[in-house]
Structure 1
């Protein structure tokens, strides 16, 4: 049964794939061939008029008109009606050319509105009735009723075909609209992804360049007096520059969707996106730039999604970059808190005038001031958008003592807590206070 169904679908699909002009030409040729072979073999000798050259010409004209019936349905209907009227008026076999007239009438019903269908039905009924009265056996009422039923059947079938064609046209238009909307959604998704990558590039570039600028100023300042510090600053510049280039390569490779092979190589070679585990290294580098930094971790650690970890890392990175730009030499306190349903990170600096007196004129702070950065910061909008992406909150503002504070709160799942209890201090390279990590 399934094989028969599949075979039928294959046949229907093959028929539907035939061009309309070819199909109309084949139908017109078949109808004309039927007319001529019937007239040659079965033409009634008792008819009032023999099938002569004029009858052949009229028959061929009806068949030729059917070739363009889809393109000009009303014209073909009028032409067939006129040819059949001449054919019947000349006294030829009346029912011979009625198939062409009925096919033309069906085309009008399937291609035009109901008003034109009614007009064509009246013409077809009159000509069919003329032939049926002379050839059908029965009462005139039965012949009229039978002819009317036949004409109505053709009209109903043609009207159904017209509505089906309109439905297919509407469905095709609807599918095209869906495809356009899908393309628009894909283009918007690509645009949003590129905007996200652009923000990543801003964060990466701003932070690494700020650290490089501060370290370069420090190296120049102590080049003649402290070669060890200058050497350490140059090593930091080398490390930060290499890391920045690696992140830039990884992000820029995402902007090249056509180069699949290069993107695959970049994805295979580059390291994963940074997270909370890389915060001590980030804060240590800022501390080496002359910004005393304290990093504290509180609460019970838990595994976090990579996106949330990247969000925390970028907010801390952008906040530290703003401190380097707008409050060079200020001390910074970074505190990461694990709560049952949230994770909170706070970055607070002491402000440009909050530097401890014993460290206010260190070479590092002078080198940071020598970079010439000033302004109010341009990364707060990006940090707020990052927080909103994960349904979090970001609060920023000045502290009463003159410093500036950034607080990020993100909702997280309360499950999957590990067994790390209480408040812990993150490891670092230099610790000057046993109670806190100072970099």
Structure 2
């Protein structure tokens, strides 16, 4: 069985003016037809016989009802005035009182309760005047019956008004929820764009910086030291391949969901983590930056996101060393505490002597320094740290170098790796650097 609001859906599609015109026409036709019926004048209490003046007044009431939605108070006033004239001529209302009740209902449904009470009072007075002459029975019943009749219409009007208010509030609530949903979606898209832009910046900045340095090395030693040039070209090939693989991995995240099958067939490596730090630091060492990597504490697995955060911070810090402190030595230290993991990257500042000892021409090392970054590296690293509840500090050291320190909280309930599975034991050191020429 259809519910009431389902059955009322066809009415909701009708324009309000057309619906009001049909209602006004129906009320007018019923009032006129009931007033001019042949036996109406035979009733003793019927009052004055209906003539052309009465019909004009009834039609005028109906015409006023057409605009009841737009001007409810005005229509009520006009209807009350026409009813007063109608009664002053001695006519009895009969079904013409439906026009006055409909005007009163409209005021109660579209205006507040004070106006509704005023409309009910006016309607009650005029209907009571008519019922005194047209109803039979005791006077008490005439007063009570008229009040019940007007009160019933007033209650229905008040219910209609509250229902309309509830629908308006529900509509406003739905619109507000839709706006919040759109805002959340836009914010999620923006955050995702920022994340991907940060990843692209880290990947391209590091790999291109290493390629630029190695290309400079190959250029300056191509004739004199072909072995060194060949090593630099191999490093360019490896770094370029690694960078392309990471770019493909990032681009795969932007593929639509229906492309998951093609995405699964790709052989791109997963996101890098702490296990790839030795290779990263070694390549920087081969670019003329003597480097050392140490691990302290009991190593244990971290969530993939935190491992990627550590890797990117080290990667960006080493890239900044290549750009802004070419030829300096750098030390990367990873420390595992009970409830946190800390990584520090220290460089000693630019020292051309170290470069010459490494056998790398100073002009080649300074190639990357000419292409300074956009200044968003430190900001991106801080945003990464904040994303995982960590802290990042960066600044000059007393000896003229630069230090970047990242601290990330670690779940103390995380399962630790057994000591025999630890790749680098507590306090072990891995020294990587360019060989002296």
With normalisation by structure 2, the TM-score equals: 0.83
Shift of 1:348: 2.3
Q: Is the 8 A contact 1:296 1:424 kept in 2?
A: no
Q: 1:38 aligns with which of 31, 34, 37?
A: 34
1:190 maps to: 189
1:408 maps to: 406
Instruction: Show CA shifts across 1:271-296 (max 9, x none).
Output: 43322232232222212211222233
1:431 maps to: none
Shift of 1:417: 1.6
Shift of 1:138: 3.2
Q: Give the distance between the partners of 2:162 and 2:239, measured in 1 at CA.
A: 70
Name which of structure 1's ranges 9-18 and 179-188 shifts more when overlaid on structure 2: 9-18
Q: Give the distance between the partners of 1:393 and 1:48, measured in 2 at CA.
A: 94
Q: Give the distance between the partners of 1:69 and 1:271, measured in 2 at CA.
A: 72
Name which of structure 1's ranges 50-59 and 72-81 shifts more when overlaid on structure 2: 50-59
Q: Give the distance between the partners of 2:236 and 2:101, measured in 1 at CA.
A: 90
Q: Is the 8 A contact 1:325 1:374 kept in 2?
A: yes
Q: Give the distance between the partners of 2:55 and 2:429, measured in 1 at CA.
A: 114
Q: Is the 8 A contact 1:43 1:93 kept in 2?
A: no
1:367 maps to: 364
Unaligned runs of at least 5 residues, structure 2? none
Instruction: Show CA shifts across 1:114-151 (max 9, x none).
Output: 44334433432232112100122234344234323433
Q: Give the distance between the partners of 2:219 and 2:86, measured in 1 at CA.
A: 110
With normalisation by structure 1, the TM-score equals: 0.83
Q: Structure 1's 267 and 384: CA in aligned 2 closer, same or farther, altered over 3 A?
A: farther
1:353 maps to: 351
Unaligned runs of at least 5 residues, structure 1? 427-433
Q: Is the 8 A contact 2:210 2:236 kept in 1?
A: yes
Instruction: Show CA shifts across 1:218-273 (max 9, x none).
Output: 0111011122221222232233234334434554676x78x777899678745433
- Correspondence list, 1:325-364, <5 A: 325-353=323-351, 360=357, 362-363=359-360
Q: Give the distance between the partners of 2:391 and 2:301, measured in 1 at CA.
A: 20
Residue 172 (structure 2) pairs with residue 178 (structure 1)? no
Q: Is the 8 A contact 1:295 1:425 kept in 2?
A: no
Q: Structure 1's 283 and 264: CA in aligned 2 closer, same or farther, altered over 3 A?
A: farther
Q: Give secondary structure in 1 for the equivalent of 2:280.
A: helix
Q: Give the distance between the partners of 2:353 and 2:424, measured in 1 at CA.
A: 23
Q: Is the 8 A contact 2:327 2:354 kept in 1?
A: no
Shift of 1:12: 4.7
Q: 2:302 aligns with which of 290, 301, 304?
A: 304
Q: Give the distance between the partners of 1:96 and 1:9, measured in 2 at CA.
A: 29
Q: Structure 1's 422 and 243: CA in aligned 2 closer, same or farther, altered over 3 A?
A: closer
1:158 maps to: 157
Q: Give the distance between the partners of 1:382 and 1:94, measured in 2 at CA.
A: 82
Q: Is the 8 A contact 2:327 2:365 kept in 1?
A: yes
CA RMSD of superposed structures (Å): 3.4
Q: Give the distance between the partners of 1:105 and 1:298, measured in 2 at CA.
A: 86
